[in-house]
Amino acid sequence: MKIGFIGLGNMGGPMAHNLAVAGHDVSGFDTAGVKIDGVTSVDTAQAAVVGADVVITMLPNGAILRAVADQIIPEMKTGAVFVDCSTVDVDSARAVAEQANAAGLGAIDAPVSGGIGGATNGTLTFMAGGGADAFATAAPLLEIMGQKSVHCGESGAGQAAKICNNMILGITMIGTCEAFALADKLGLDRQKMFDVVSTSSGYSWSMNAYCPAPGVGPDSPADNDYKPGFAAELMLKDLRLSQQAAESADAATPLGQAATDLYAQFVENEDGLGMDFSAMLPRFSKLGRG
């Protein structure tokens, strides 16, 4: 396929590279002027999409997505598919899909899980919302960039799945870090704590696959001075999106709100900026009950 790719940062760059390695003709644009091996660099977003069968975006937020959509949708050929892999608010995803559909385009919101490592290794999970025909067109490309894609429903459903998943992740990581900090103060060895919890009812991805305690469980950012695999500020972004969605849908999410407040404190008022989201463990280890 001929593919336009807009947003070649830490996630988009490797994703575009993997598509090019697979033999697709990829034209890419990024405001930072990034060059990606195998990807033809162009000077504008509009130039990236001309003649493209599929256009993929990986952008920071909903406002930027809407602005880019305004630029590129008029330049896309009828019948092309617009695949947005950004994590944005559900309202923006739905608005852009409606705009694309009105212009005779297919549209998929397909945010990802798996982080920079997943983007590099082609092992991302895609959560997709949009029409069945558009998803069928995009699916072979998602299979190159990831190991799994789930068609979650109509437009916005991919974003809904992503923010619900990451709300769970933020809540469970805080719980895991609190438990390790409590275990330390009770004199319980961290390895013994892991051995029990990882095979008991406290089992979770945060404990078993991404343990926040250095030297315990599989390798994780905790074993690399908490250099980010998934940065705390990105978790905060996703938690804020979850609470924005909860307010719009009139949904009670008290633990989601508490997790949002804790990550905001960590990132904005403490030393969490630029740290992995699992660095909540040393944070809690330093705190007392008061």
The residues annotated with a catalytic role in the active site are 162
Phi-psi region of 41 (alpha: psi -120 to 50; beta: other; left: phi over 0): beta
CA nearest 238: which of 166, 172, 175, 173?
166
Question: Letter for the amino acid at 256?
Answer: G
| Residue 191 structure tokens | 């390895």
CB neighbourhood size of 218 (10 A):
9
Which of these, 48, 44, 50, lies nearest to 31 by C-alpha position? 44
Structural Rg of the chain based on CA atoms:
20
- Residue 158 main-chain phi, psi, to 5 deg: -65, -45
Residue 209 and residue 215: Cα distance in Å, rounded? Answer: 13
Nearest 10 degrees: CA dihedral of 202, 203, 208, 212? -30
Cα 269 to the center of its chain, rounded Å: 24
Q: What is the DSSP letter of 104?
A: T
**8-state DSSP, 171:** H
**How far is residue 84's CA from residue 97's CA, in Å, rounded to a whole number?**
9
